[in-house]
Structure 1
Amino acid sequence: MSLDPISRFSDHSSDYQKYRPGYPDAIITYLEQNIGLNLKKNIADIGSGTGIFTELFLRKGYPVTAVEPNNEMRLQAEEHLGYFRHFKSIGTRAEATLIPSGTIDLITVAQAFHWFDTQQVRSEFLRIAKPGAYVLLVWNILQHKTPFLKAYQQFKEGFSVSKPYRDKADKEQVEHFFNGAEIIVQEIYHSRLLDFNELLGYFRSSSYAPLPGDPEYTSAESNLRSIFDRFEKNGKVKLEYDAKMFLGKI
Structure 2
Amino acid sequence: MPSPNATTRFSDRVENYVRYRPGYPAEVLDVLRAETGLVPGQAVADVGSGTGISAKLFLDAGHPVYAVEPNAEMRAAAEAMLGDDERFHSVAGSAEATTLPDASVDYVVAAQAFHWFDPAAVGPEWRRILRPGGWMVLLWNTRQTDTTPFLRAYEALLHEHGTDYASVNHENVTADSLRAVLGGGYTRRMVPSAQVFDFEALKGRLLSSSYAPNVDHPGHVPMLAALERIFNEHQQEGRVRFEYDTEIYFGRGD
1:170 CA displacement: 3.0
Q: CA deviation at 1:43?
A: 0.6
Please say if residues 114 and 170 of structure 1, whose CA atoms lie closer than 8 Å, have aligned partners that are also in contact. Answer: no
Separation in structure 2 between the aligned mates of residue 162 and residue 107 of structure 1, nearest angstrom: 29
Q: Give the secondary-structure state (helix, strand or coil) at the position aligned to 1:74.
A: helix
How far, CA to CA, are the matches of 1:29 and 1:179 in structure 2? 22
Q: Distance in 2 between matches of 1:167 and 1:114?
A: 5
Paired AA for residue 152 in structure 2: K
Q: Which residue matches 2:157?
A: 155
1:166 matches 2:145: no
- 1:160 deviates by 3.2
1:162 offset after TM fit, Å?
4.6
Counterpart contact for 2:141–2:247, Cα < 8 Å: yes
Gaps of 5+ in 1: none
> Which digits, 9 at most, give the CA deviation of each residue in 1:208-235, with x for residues without a partner?
1112232221111111000000111111
**C-alpha distance in structure 1 between counterparts of 2:210 and 2:197, whole Å:** 20
Partner of 2:199: 196
State yes or no: 1:215 paired with 2:226: no
Say if 1:162 and 1:43 are closer, same or farther in 2 by CA, change over 3 A.
closer
Q: Percent identity?
A: 38
Match of 2:86 in 1: 85
Unaligned ranges ≥5, structure 2: none
Aligned amino acid, residue 49 of structure 1: G
Q: Which residue of the partner structure matches residue 104 of structure 2?
A: 103
Query: Secondary structure of 1:192's partner?
Result: strand
Show the counterpart of 2:6: 5
| Counterpart Cα distance in 1 of 2:34 and 2:183 | 25
Paired with 2:175 and 2:14, the residues of 1 have a C-alpha distance of 27
What is the CA-CA distance between 1:161 and the residue it aligns to?
6.1
* TM-score after normalising by structure 2: 0.93
Greater Cα offset, 3-12 or 127-136: 3-12
The CA deviation string for residues 186-222 of structure 1, in whole angstroms up to 9 with x for no partner, is: 0111112110001000110111111223222111111
How far is 1:165 from its partner? 2.1
Deviations 1:101-159 (A, max 9, x none): 11111110011111111111111111100011000011111002111001000101113
Instruction: Give 1:179's aligned residue.
Output: 183
- Other-structure match for 2:249: 246
Counterpart residue number, 1:75: 76
